[in-house]
C-alpha cells in the first residue's frame, strides 16, 4: 500500500517543480511596461498583454462618418467580427476602413476604426491612422492574401475602458475569403492602474 501512495506523491512533487507556469502572469509583475496616462506627467498606468483570436467578414453597410474629414478619402469598406480577447471575453467587433489611393497600384487604408463590445456590454475603441507620426497604421496584404494590420491604437471606451490606452497588431488568413480568421497581440492599460 505504501508503494501505491508513494508513486502518486512523487508524480505530484515532480509536477509542482515545473518552471513553466500554466496560469497567466499577474498584472503586478515588475517587468510589465509602464505608459504615460491621460492627465499629465506623473500619471502612470501599468500596461498588460492584450491578445485575441476570432473571425471577420465584410458587410455592405456601416458608419462612414469617421471618413468624411480624411484627406484623400475615396471609399469605405466595413467589416464585422466575433472572437475572444483578453479583458473583453467573448466579443463582437465592427470596423470602418477609410480607403484612399497611393500610387496607381496601391490602395491605402488611411483610417481604420474598430469598436469592440465586451461580454458585459462595455465598449473598447481602437483606431489606426496611416499618417500618425508616432505609430503609423499599416495594412499589409501578402501574395498568399494573408494580411497584417500594424499599430492599432486603443483610444478609450465605455465602462471600465473609459480611459484605456494601448496598442495592438492583428494578423490573418485570406482577407478576400467570405469569412477570415485573425489573431491580435499588443498591450492595454490595466483597468484601475492609474496612480
Is pLDDT above 70 for 138? yes
C-alpha closest to that of 114 among 131, 127, 101: 127
Lowest mean pLDDT among 102-116, 142-156, 170-184: 102-116
Q: 192 vs 66, which has greater pLDDT?
A: 66
Spatial contact of 152 and 112, defined as CB atoms under 8 Å apart: yes
Q: What's the CA gap between 83 and 59, in Å, rounded?
A: 17
Ranges of beta strands (E only) in 86-160 are 89-101, 107-117, 123-129, 138-141, 147-157
Q: 26 vs 50, which has greater pLDDT?
A: 50
Whether the model pTM is above 0.85 = no
Q: Binning pLDDT at 50, 70 and 90, where does residue 30 land?
A: very low
Q: Which three three-digit cell numbers place residue 137?
A: 497604421
What is the model's pLDDT at position 111? 86
Which H or E run includes 74? strand 73-85
What is the model's pLDDT at position 195? 38
Q: Which three three-digit cell numbers place residue 168?
A: 495592438
Q: 179 vs 32, which has greater pLDDT?
A: 179
Q: 101 vs 77, which has greater pLDDT?
A: 77
Q: What's the CA gap between 71 and 65, in Å, rounded?
A: 13
Amino acid at each position: 500500500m505504501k508503494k501505491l501512495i508513494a508513486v502518486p506523491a512523487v508524480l505530484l512533487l515532480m509536477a509542482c517543480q515545473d518552471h513553466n507556469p500554466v496560469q497567466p502572469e499577474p498584472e503586478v509583475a515588475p517587468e510589465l511596461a509602464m505608459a504615460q496616462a491621460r492627465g499629465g506627467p506623473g500619471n502612470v498606468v501599468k500596461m498588460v498583454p492584450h491578445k485575441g483570436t476570432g473571425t471577420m467578414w465584410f458587410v455592405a453597410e456601416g458608419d462612414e462618418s469617421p471618413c468624411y474629414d480624411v484627406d484623400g478619402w475615396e471609399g469605405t469598406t466595413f467589416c464585422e467580427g466575433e472572437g475572444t480577447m483578453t479583458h473583453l471575453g467573448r466579443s463582437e467587433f465592427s470596423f470602418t476602413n477609410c480607403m484612399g489611393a497611393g500610387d496607381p497600384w496601391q490602395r491605402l487604408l488611411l483610417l481604420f476604426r474598430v469598436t469592440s463590445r465586451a461580454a458585459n456590454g462595455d465598449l473598447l475603441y481602437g483606431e489606426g491612422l496611416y499618417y500618425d507620426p508616432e505609430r503609423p497604421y499599416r495594412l499589409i496584404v501578402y501574395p498568399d492574401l494573408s494580411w497584417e494590420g500594424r499599430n492599432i491604437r486603443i483610444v478609450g471606451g465605455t465602462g471600465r475602458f473609459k480611459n484605456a490606452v494601448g496598442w495592438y497588431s492583428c494578423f490573418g488568413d485570406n482577407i478576400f475569403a467570405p469569412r477570415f480568421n485573425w489573431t491580435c497581440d499588443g498591450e492595454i492599460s490595466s483597468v484601475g492602474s492609474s496612480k
